[in-house]
Amino acid sequence: MFELRNVYYTPGGNQILKNISLSIKRGEIFVIMGLSGAGKSTILRLLNGLIKANSGSVLVDGVDITGLSEKALAEVRRKVGMLFQSAALFDSLTVAENVSFAWRNEKINDIQKREMVRETLSVVGLVGVEDKMPSELSGGMKKRVGLARAIAMKPQALLYDEPTSGLDPMTSNTILELIKDLNERLQVTSVVVTHELASAFAIADRVALLHDGKIVFVGSVSEMEEANIPLVKNFITGGKI
Ligand SMILES: Nc1ncnc2c1ncn2[C@@H]1O[C@H](COP(=O)(O)OP(=O)(O)OP(=O)(O)O)[C@@H](O)[C@H]1O
Ligand SMILES: [Mg+2]
């Protein structure tokens, strides 16, 4: 579904990503781990065309998006939903307006739209919150609304930036379950960024470890646990590299 080939991202001469090559298969849950500042969010932004690689290529669904026009990129972004690190809801809009934002240019009558919002919210486990404002929601509910907004476009892939950060352990677990559930039910490819080892291991089909803008490991959870690579071992035992 996604492929990065020898990608460099070097804004203003800073080497943020250095020669990244990665292939993410259709339907898998692929987790990107690494310390703060490693470049994890930058990879997600490349995958949905929010930023452009300085060299190398980024393929989404077989299409190289590096040279695409803004109009063509907008099409790519419809295929790739994103849950941002801070949920990024529009604070002055209700939950229903946030979720239906993706359909703002479509001719759908209000009754139909209301029903579509209700259905989309139920997919992420929310009921009866349509008329609430984001400020009235808990952290976990905000993440769910952000996710509802992302799936409203019926994407082929979902990108999650730190989906469990700032949540208590129980709420974290329900969000991780939801990621797995959506991956199966919506048959999407899921790319999840986290620095939390337990979260990663709970959901990953495959894991990549990013360090200082470079990939140091890609493989299954058990391969990662057995890997004889000092950087990987340090990350697993101490959360440090
Ligand atoms: N456009 C830019 N110009 C300059 N530096 C940037 C730019 N974008 C990102 N960076 C830097 O690149 C590094 C990686 O950023 P990124 O946000 O991808 O890290 P991260 O792994 O997601 O970290 P965190 O876990 O803290 O979210 C950081 O040091 C950041 O300051
Ligand atoms: Mg980040």
For residue range 27-61, what is the model confidence (pLDDT) as tens digits? 999 999 998 899 999 999 999 999 999 999 999 99
pLDDT of residue 75: 87
To test the pocket of ligand 1, the residue of 9, 16, 160, 161 to mutate (highest count of ligand atoms within 8 Å of its CB) is 16
Q: What is the pLDDT of residue 61?
A: 92
pLDDT mean over 184-213: 95
Between 195 and 95, the more confident residue is 95
**pLDDT for position 67:** 86
CA–CA dist 121, 238 (Å, integer): 38
- In the predicted model, what is the mean pLDDT of residues 70-98? 90
Specify the DSSP class assigned to residue 13: G
Rounded alpha-carbon distances, angstroms, from residue 105 to 1, 100, 109, 159, 167? 27, 10, 12, 23, 34
239 has pLDDT over 90 = no
Residue whose CA lies nearest to ligand 1 atom number 31: 37
Given phi > 0 = left and psi -120 to 50 = alpha, else beta, which region is 55? beta
Is residue 240 over pLDDT 70? Answer: no
**Percent of the chain predicted with pLDDT > 70:** 99
Q: Tell me the pLDDT band of 241, cut-offs 50, 70 and 90.
A: low
Please indicate whether residue 194, judged by its CB atom, sits closer than 6 Å to ligand 1. no
Assign 238 a pLDDT band (cuts: 50, 70, 90).
Answer: confident
Share of the chain above pLDDT 90, in %: 79
pLDDT at 102: 85
44 C-alpha vs ligand 2 centroid, how far in Å?
Answer: 9
* Residue 13 CB less than 6 A away from ligand 1: no
CA of residue 42 to ligand 1 center, whole Å: 6
Mutate to test the pocket of ligand 1, among 9, 10, 35, 40 (most ligand atoms within 8 A of CB): 40
pLDDT recorded at residue 150: 92
C-beta 36 within 6 A of ligand 1: yes
Domains of the chain: 2-238 (3.40.50.300)
pLDDT tens digits, one per residue of 126-184: 999 999 999 999 989 999 999 999 999 899 999 999 999 888 899 999 999 999 999 99
* pLDDT the model gives residue 233: 92
Which numbered atom of ligand 1 lies nearest the CA of 39? 18
Six token digits for residue 29: 């849950």
pLDDT for position 129: 96
Which residues have CB under 8 Å from 16's CB, separation 6+?
9, 10, 39, 42, 213
Residue 88: per-residue pLDDT: 83
